[in-house]
Amino acid sequence: MIENIREPKQQRAIEKKEKIIEAGFNLICKNGYYNTNTAEIAKEAGVSTGIVYQYFKDKYDVLIEGLEKYGDDIFFPMLKNTNIKFDKKDFDKLLRQMINHYINNHKVSNIAHEEIMSMVHSDRRIAEYYYKRELEMTNSLKEILLNNNFSENELFEKVHIMLGLIDNLCHEIIYHKHSDMNYDIMTNLVIDNIKNLFKNDLV
Amino acid sequence: MIENIREPKQQRAIEKKEKIIEAGFNLICKNGYYNTNTAEIAKEAGVSTGIVYQYFKDKYDVLIEGLEKYGDDIFFPMLKNTNIKFDKKDFDKLLRQMINHYINNHKVSNIAHEEIMSMVHSDRRIAEYYYKRELEMTNSLKEILLNNNFSENELFEKVHIMLGLIDNLCHEIIYHKHSDMNYDIMTNLVIDNIKNLFKNDLV
Amino acid sequence: MIENIREPKQQRAIEKKEKIIEAGFNLICKNGYYNTNTAEIAKEAGVSTGIVYQYFKDKYDVLIEGLEKYGDDIFFPMLKNTNIKFDKKDFDKLLRQMINHYINNHKVSNIAHEEIMSMVHSDRRIAEYYYKRELEMTNSLKEILLNNNFSENELFEKVHIMLGLIDNLCHEIIYHKHSDMNYDIMTNLVIDNIKNLFKNDLV
Amino acid sequence: MIENIREPKQQRAIEKKEKIIEAGFNLICKNGYYNTNTAEIAKEAGVSTGIVYQYFKDKYDVLIEGLEKYGDDIFFPMLKNTNIKFDKKDFDKLLRQMINHYINNHKVSNIAHEEIMSMVHSDRRIAEYYYKRELEMTNSLKEILLNNNFSENELFEKVHIMLGLIDNLCHEIIYHKHSDMNYDIMTNLVIDNIKNLFKNDLV
DNA sequence: TATGAATGAGTCTTCATTCAT
DNA sequence: AATGAATGAAGACTCATTCAT
């Protein structure tokens, strides 16, 4: 068997590959991996079905590349631009920034998260990707906090809880699941709670 | 056309149906809905493929009935036995009970949660089931707290955050994702955080 | 293999067998052989599926026995009571009697005829039955006409055409295919035509 | 969901589609719709099973398209080329032409007629097709006769009887059911009979 | 006799992947 | 590089028939 997956060199070809990734990942996130077929992906990307197999080993590969390209936006939107110093009395503000960043960067439809998460369990490569990134983010946050004189004590656990709280809040806001939920109140409660987590650091 | 979904009357038949639900739901939760075929379900249940279609309309129906039977254990294990009065100074204890209950009742494999969650988005019936139960639990918890003189103020939001914290914690404990996580510390932090949420009620 | 098709002796058993034949043949004629399953037949007959296979070798056998029991009513309703002498000037009347007899004896739904006819080609036993009966009727009619001094000359052909004309007419009347067809006119035309066929015999 | 019924553009593809229709319709007519499976159709057409479903929605669609393509030859072979003027003394000749045309155009096996007719009852689309065409032919014949100064009086009924006579005759000739039938005699009798129907018009 | 639960071969249909052009 | 026609393995589901009770 010849390895005939081409890495496109020309600009037009590169764009074509991008198109396939984008179309494929969007469709998969919207409708699920098994409810998306390659014909649809090709059509949505404006290419022929055959070409998909010149840029990708198989359908699964489209998903993986999509995940690598867009995954951060779905799972770890607060990962970016966190290399910051902040005044402890602005911790509040930082949290609000992270939350807004998370919400604003949710590019892909609301199925994406669980759709991919469900694959984390059945699929080694996706699991690897996911846990690697999750750890990256946890560490990245730990780093920031350490750099700002937070105590290392129980920090891993605290960061994990903090991320869970933010994740939960943002999902609630993004997906509008409960009509009688007041998001301002919830946001304030979450921020207060995170501050409680780090009450020893914030004096 | 004959209505050929039989509701089994005899004991042996009932057991057979249970077997199919159990086998089917387990396989689906372990490997995913689309990676489980009816032949496997039948084999695992120790029956022929045909019989599956005498007790269930289709493969999807096996999932739904499995969800109805085992769903609470996966999603809402703390829902049961919550009709309790407690002393406010025992709130702590109550929370620990809920957490233990959650963890102990996780009967099905660890893929179940996300696998099903991924379907919540693409599938109306599963979504209905999920949101109905989620709301039930939130209300059930609100009720308990109100009965124990907690304030109605921002209660919906607080309960939601609280459930998110517990959910997150339990998943962490159940699935052992992070080897260097100290679960006792994390549990304590979560409980402290929940108490912070209700600090006005607990005086 | 033991030949275990039972010929029922007891009255209740005989009635049960009749019920199955009737139910089966009705359903098959109404919906077609392949759109009728044994479960439906059993249900319609008010028996269990298992019992069908004690009285019949297979589903096909139900059809055959139904055909033998009811086939004449569908295909050759004028076959009965034709052992008559008639005055040639009453030929007209005889024809009208045959036509009425045909129409009145059409017990089974209007799919029966073609449904069975379509099987005549693919199925030896049904074909045998059909052609045997058709010949019987043709000969029976020939006999009657010969007994009433019709000439043997071209008689076979004439009888065949005559039967075709009656068949066509009766189908038209029974199935109401064409709303703007005047059946009295058509009947008169057909009778006139048959008389034309035998104009030499009727002087 | 992608609309995946392709209307083939390329010559080769068109031929392939024709092949499938032909193979499918032949097999269905020979063995019956329910005794013909898609694998057989594909094999007979020299293609894979998959391709069938790129050109046809389902197995039934193959039948419908076959019917539309070959149906006229089976049911209404005299429909073609009837736009003629004739001398009343050549009515005889016209009838013989129609009969010959009918017989010569019977392309498909002798099961076709009843096989399809049996579906007319259970299937709306096929029934629609059949009755539409039957009416077309009746009207077409009426038109011809009116154009040749036949009286409108009882014309619909007469044409119907006439077509029945021809249909009956041709079936007899085509399918050789009765070995001792003299077809020349029968043909002459039928023609004489039709002329009797229109005796007032032919003076 | 009678029941109806159980079997499993058979069928339609889909779709990831390959291939001729 | 690109197309889209073609492949064929795999899966959901049906149903005639058998079997345990």
Give the tens place of pLDDT for each residue, A168-195: 999 888 877 777 889 999 999 999 999 9
**Rg for chain D, CA atoms, rounded:** 20
pLDDT tops 90 at residue B6: no
Q: Measuring from the CA of residue B38 to each C1', which nucleotide is nearest?
A: F12
Q: How far is the CA of C130 from the C1' of E7 (A)?
A: 36
Neighbours of chain B (3+ CB pairs under 8 A): A, C
Q: How far is the CA of A4 from the C1' of E17 (A)?
A: 14
The answer on pLDDT for A6 being more than 70 is: no
Q: Pick the residue with more confidence: A79 or D175?
A: D175
What is the per-residue pLDDT for B75? Answer: 76
Q: Is the pLDDT of residue C165 over 70?
A: yes
Please report, rounded to whole angstroms, the spatial distance between the CA atom of protein residue B41 and the C1' atom of nucleotide E4.
23
What is the average pLDDT score of chain D?
A: 86
Is C2 or D183 the better-scoring residue by pLDDT?
D183
- Whether A contacts B, i.e. 3 or more CB pairs less than 8 A apart, is yes
Specify the pLDDT at position A37.
Answer: 96
Alpha carbons B16 and B8: distance in angstroms, whole number: 9
pLDDT at A73: 77
**Mean pLDDT for the stretch of residues D23-29:** 92
Secondary structure of chain B in the HEC alphabet?
CCCCCCCCCCHHHHHHHHHHHHHHHHHHHHHCHHHCCHHHHHHHHCCCHHHHHHHCCCHHHHHHHHHHHHHHHHHCCCCCCCCCCCCHHHHHHHHHHHHHHHHHCCCCCCCHHHHHHHHHHHCHHHHHHHHHHHHHHHHHHHHHHHHCCCCCCCHHHHHHHHHHHHHHHHHHHHHCCCCCCCHHHHHHHHHHHHHHHCHHHHC
pLDDT reading at A100 higher than 60 = yes
Q: Tell me, what's the pLDDT at B48?
A: 97
CB contact under 8 A, A43 and D4: no
B158 touches chain A (CB under 8 A): yes
- Cβ D148 vs Cβ D162: under 8 Å: no
Residues 6 or more apart whose Cβ sits within 8 Å of residue D14: D8
Structure tokens at B31: 């490997």
Share of chain A above pLDDT 90, in %: 47
| pLDDT score recorded for residue C105 | 73
Q: How confident is the model at residue C107 (pLDDT cuts 50, 70, 90)?
A: low
Question: What pLDDT is stored for residue C183 in this prediction?
Answer: 95
Averaged pLDDT, A11-28: 91
pLDDT tier at A1, thresholds 50, 70, 90 = very low
pLDDT of B97 strictly over 80: yes
Q: Which amino acid is at B28?
A: I
pLDDT for the residue B194: 97
pLDDT of residue A46: 96
Does residue D17 carry a pLDDT above 70? yes
Indicate the pLDDT class of residue C1, thresholds 50, 70 and 90: very low
Torsion of CA A175, A179, A184, A187, to 10 degrees: -50
Q: Which domains are seen in chain A, by residue range? A: 11-67 (1.10.10.60), 76-202 (1.10.357)
Residue D116 confidence (pLDDT): 79
Which residues are within 8 A (CB) of B60 and not within 5 positions of it... i.e. 6 or more apart?
none
pLDDT in tens, B108-130: 555 677 777 777 777 778 888 88
The CA–C1' separation of C5 and E3, in angstroms, is 17
Of A35-39, C23-27, C176-180, the least confident: C176-180
The pLDDT of residue C171 is 85
Predicted confidence (pLDDT) at residue C120 exceeds the cutoff of 80: no
Q: A61-65, A124-128, A162-166, B174-178 — which is least confidently predicted?
A: B174-178
Give me the pLDDT at residue A18, please: 95
pLDDT for D79 equals 62
Could you tell me if A49 lies within 8 Å of chain D, comparing CB atoms?
A: no
* CB-defined contacts B:C, below 8 A: 6
Residue D105 predicted with pLDDT over 80:
no
The pLDDT tens digits of the residues spanning D44-59 come to 999 999 999 999 999 9
Confidence bin at B52 (pLDDT 50/70/90): very high
Interface contact C40-B4, CB threshold 8 A = no
Over 70: is that where the pLDDT of D137 sits?
Answer: yes
C/D Cβ contact: 3+ pairs below 8 Å: yes
Per-residue pLDDT band at C44 (split at 50, 70, 90): very high
Look at residue B158 and tell me whether its pLDDT is greater than 90: yes
Residue C79, pLDDT score: 62
Q: Choose the mutation target among C36, C37, C114 for the interface with D, i.e. most D CBs under 10 Å.
A: C114
Nucleotides on chain F within 7 angstroms of protein Cβ: 1-20
